Structure 1
């Protein structure tokens, strides 16, 4: 995608605007802090506190590999009065007696796909976790109704408690658990109650069917860390409105026609992530700590804005694409190449690798919109600790790589192509591609000495592809050269327009067709438009966005109160 003439567009979602303005300010403050040597320092040097953390992983006996299966639910309430149905999914959190390196380490979580318009959904989603200790676990499954236009309503909770585990554990086989309504949406259960008044066959209490199976001892010398064994689930999140604001396009359903869409991707890589990959945010200014820990008024505002931005970029809706592979394989590597469009378009991606091996990445670039929507803080969901972060891109090789082949192998095509990408289809063989990945992240500043461990983990996770690691400081000249080549390819292989932001207003996600008309895209023909037309449509959508933000705040406040009430019992 080439950089073309900028088209003036209003701001996107207001919370995204707040977060991106903060990112821009933070980058400026970080540069000043580096220049003048200010900010909180480590005890052993002049660098700001944060970055690589050498806290040792707690020692514990090896645990067990446990498979959790979320089979189905029944008699769920109708959260959508228009369809008299729900779009349910399960969000599970696993807790054990294992100590963590820091109390801020994120918990183990798992999300099932969303089943559309079904009050009796069937998922059969599996989640295999390693090193579950013999003292057992507590599994909390929250059932939600997906509603991207408003807010996800909680339909209830289920708790599965197991006090002891062993290789002779008989397991739990498709056991039905009553869903606790007290944590559910009052609106959803009101609709259910009205239906029950007129139909005796309608029940108020739903059920969730869960299985738990011990697969055997975990093969490790230290059982101090939980990790996801599999499956390797992946999701692709497409946002037409954010894509229009960022000026990014993706292939349409026919694979040829392009449409505006900002693409965010998640892949669950098979663990364990090397224990040495452990980094904390860099505390280059006092307000940064408040933002990550949400301990001050300013910090809570920034934390909420960035968390909201993460949820909007990685938003689940009807356009979300789901997939799964049982374990690392060539098929998983090919799927990764599909998500990054192989080597087409000269794309560069920003990524974050979480402690549990979830790899999140989006396209980045010098364009205003893309750069601010791809910050590592957003990818990590403002998590204090992550495994690694940086940028990467894909290079297509002229010939398949072999073991020991040089990093700077000739690429294909050897020279730039004008007026579009190569006409031939990219080869469906990972050996023709090289993943160039670095540690270029000012938010977490990963230690360059750990790049070999990152490479080893990715080689195990993505079989067949060549992986080259670059130190953003030690290999800066080579890194800049290769990234500049990518940017030049981006200019040569397309003629897209970059969209920039104005200073005011917001746009709702339902206004994509209106913006098409504003750009003059009617029936494939380009027609004149004016700034006043855009302004009028923006003002119409402002109230819609305010309603969405109000719904998000009310949901978070309600669920916080419910969780606190549940924990006090």
Structure 2
């Protein structure tokens, strides 16, 4: 009764009533906490759950190296009514009887390049996987039509089952498999059906041609996990929605606001990734677990938003550049240096290394206002477990390095270059470059003791380049010094950038205001703490999925139903 009177008092006394109620509630909660033994202060030294995981790989006999080849497809439906064709690619998933370390470990997947405007595409894409067990495998190949402006339509599925593997396995030679249309795009098959009505030469059922070959026993002591042997495929994703990594600008319609092309890169490194490189996300905030496991309403929204963000950053479209190398070599090191622009621009990159050796990285920095809770979460596609994560950058050495050369060798060009970038082209010899890589990731917090294993793995995949590892805690002073030098070099070369997320077709006035604000942050005119950014994003998670199209949800629901139906068979 007293509480009701306090609330109904005039404005001058309302705050007193609220304060009284608050004190009463606080005393009540404190009494309950003490009663149940929860009133004790938490141990300041306690670390949040997550980070390095020492779970061992289950023991199993060595398996076989198996090469899968996706040759071509024929008689695919026309998913694009404007061009009366499709832009098909294959997304394959390999499953075996080998138990994972944790059920949340991501599956083994492979994606072919996209063939443009072709209903009879030819890929001839190879995928070599190690440790496929003797009791066989199940390969599921989904065929999609790439449509970056909308959502990728599934054109059908193909399943390949092999229940036994030996060195004498005859293999599968360019065999055709009928494409199952049950979960395919209704729009695509409607167009195909209309065409078949007027042309007897048009068939409703397409085919996918696949080869499977056993290359021999895998040279390993423990056959408890799969990994990709090769080839070392790479791709470069240029997105006009964010950034100016390649140094290219596109003026807006008003001639004042500039739009940029953000560059995201991924390289398939040759496995195996060292077994000790195994890290889980860190529960540094209460909402983080729900975000990764998608178990709460807020967690599902954030998980969906970050998964959508990953697909936007690593978006496949007509501007995507593909490449492939058979195995690690100096050519692969040259390609890596090209992707990171050698030492131009004083760039610093955020990276994630997946359990199957896919290395994803983009440029990072305060001036990159990417709408994310965590860049590492985005790079990992919200995967619970990864191998390693952090940041890296490239330093050019004044003279080619030699074994045992000091890590702090002077760089060239020198830090003081005046205004604008250097005029001379960087040397092409990898010996002139040093890859400085660390474990600076608050999302996964990799164990610094594993940096030598990371260095050894990268050295095998990038021969010729010098690799230096830094502990973000133990080597903090040196790391901060070198990164500050990178930032100063970027300023000296005139690389101020500001980016926004959005469609490339237009920029609203609010987008331009965001650009101006972020440009000010890049020049040191203001700062926002990470804590403030996290609070803002957690309070308004629905804003992160405003642009997710209805088609995305329908496609995911169809594919989920398809997978459930197949698992029940």
Alignment of 1:86-235 (within 5 A): 86-235=86-235
Deviations 1:356-410 (A, max 9, x none): 0000000000215158487100000000000000000000000000111111111
Per-residue deviation, 1:419? 2.1
Per-residue deviation, 1:295? 1.1
Per-residue deviation, 1:565? 2.6
1:403 and 1:374, CA in 2 relative to 1: closer, same or farther beyond 3 A?
farther
Per-residue deviation, 1:515? 12
Per-residue deviation, 1:249? 4.9
State how far apart, in whole Å, the 1-side matches of 2:338 and 2:445 are.
Answer: 28
**In the alignment, what sits opposite 1:250?**
247
Per-residue deviation, 1:414? 2.3
What stretches of structure 1 of length at least 5 have no aligned partner? 1-37, 520-544
Alignment of 1:259-274 (within 5 A): 260-274=260-274
RMSD: 2.5
What stretches of structure 2 of length at least 5 have no aligned partner? 1-39, 251-257, 515-544
State how far apart, in whole Å, the 1-side matches of 2:373 and 2:463 are.
Answer: 30
State how far apart, in whole Å, the 1-side matches of 2:385 and 2:558 are.
Answer: 27
Per-residue deviation, 1:60? 0.6
Alignment of 1:332-371 (within 5 A): 332-370=332-370
1:508 corresponds to which of 497, 503, 511: 503
Per-residue deviation, 1:217? 0.5
What SS does structure 2 have at the residue aligned with 1:144? strand
Per-residue deviation, 1:417? 1.2
Deviations 1:482-539 (A, max 9, x none): 000000001001154424x6xxxx84333379999999xxxxxxxxxxxxxxxxxxxx
Tell me which of the two structures has the higher relative contact order, counting C-alpha pairs closer than 8 angstroms and 6 or more residues apart: 1
Alignment of 1:290-329 (within 5 A): 290-329=290-329
**In the alignment, what sits opposite 1:76?**
76
Per-residue deviation, 1:567? 2.6
**In the alignment, what sits opposite 2:537?**
none
1:400 and 1:288, CA in 2 relative to 1: closer, same or farther beyond 3 A?
same
Conserved? CA contact 2:367–2:496, under 8 Å: no
Per-residue deviation, 1:130? 0.4
Conserved? CA contact 2:306–2:372, under 8 Å: no
Matched length: 493
Per-residue deviation, 1:122? 0.2
Moved more, 483-492 or 559-568: 559-568
State how far apart, in whole Å, the 2-side matches of 1:375 and 1:415 are.
Answer: 28
1:507 and 1:352, CA in 2 relative to 1: closer, same or farther beyond 3 A?
closer
What SS does structure 2 have at the residue aligned with 1:242? coil
Conserved? CA contact 1:144–1:154, under 8 Å: yes
Per-residue deviation, 1:169? 0.2
State how far apart, in whole Å, the 2-side matches of 1:327 and 1:498 are.
Answer: 37
What SS does structure 1 have at the residue aligned with 2:506? helix
1:446 and 1:547, CA in 2 relative to 1: closer, same or farther beyond 3 A?
closer
**In the alignment, what sits opposite 2:56?**
56
State how far apart, in whole Å, the 2-side matches of 1:359 and 1:264 are.
Answer: 11
Per-residue deviation, 1:564? 2.1
**In the alignment, what sits opposite 1:30?**
none
User: Are 2:565 and 1:565 aligned?
Assistant: yes
State how far apart, in whole Å, the 1-side matches of 2:81 and 2:546 are.
Answer: 22
1:58 and 1:516, CA in 2 relative to 1: closer, same or farther beyond 3 A?
closer
State how far apart, in whole Å, the 2-side matches of 1:99 and 1:512 are.
Answer: 49
1:448 and 1:116, CA in 2 relative to 1: closer, same or farther beyond 3 A?
same
What SS does structure 2 have at the residue aligned with 1:479? helix
TM-score in terms of structure 2 length? 0.83
What SS does structure 2 have at the residue aligned with 1:183? coil
Conserved? CA contact 1:150–1:548, under 8 Å: no
1:277 and 1:517, CA in 2 relative to 1: closer, same or farther beyond 3 A?
closer
Conserved? CA contact 1:40–1:283, under 8 Å: no
State how far apart, in whole Å, the 1-side matches of 2:150 and 2:565 are.
Answer: 25
1:511 and 1:179, CA in 2 relative to 1: closer, same or farther beyond 3 A?
same
State how far apart, in whole Å, the 2-side matches of 1:507 and 1:309 are.
Answer: 11
TM-score in terms of structure 1 length? 0.83
1:551 and 1:41, CA in 2 relative to 1: closer, same or farther beyond 3 A?
farther
Moved more, 143-152 or 294-303: 294-303
Deviations 1:68-114 (A, max 9, x none): 00000000000000000000000000000111100000000000000
Conserved? CA contact 2:348–2:365, under 8 Å: yes
What SS does structure 2 have at the residue aligned with 1:283? coil
Conserved? CA contact 1:41–1:49, under 8 Å: no
Higher-Rg structure is 2
Alignment of 1:398-437 (within 5 A): 398-437=398-437
**In the alignment, what sits opposite 2:13?**
none
User: Are 2:441 and 1:441 aligned?
Assistant: yes
Conserved? CA contact 2:368–2:497, under 8 Å: no
Conserved? CA contact 2:68–2:210, under 8 Å: yes
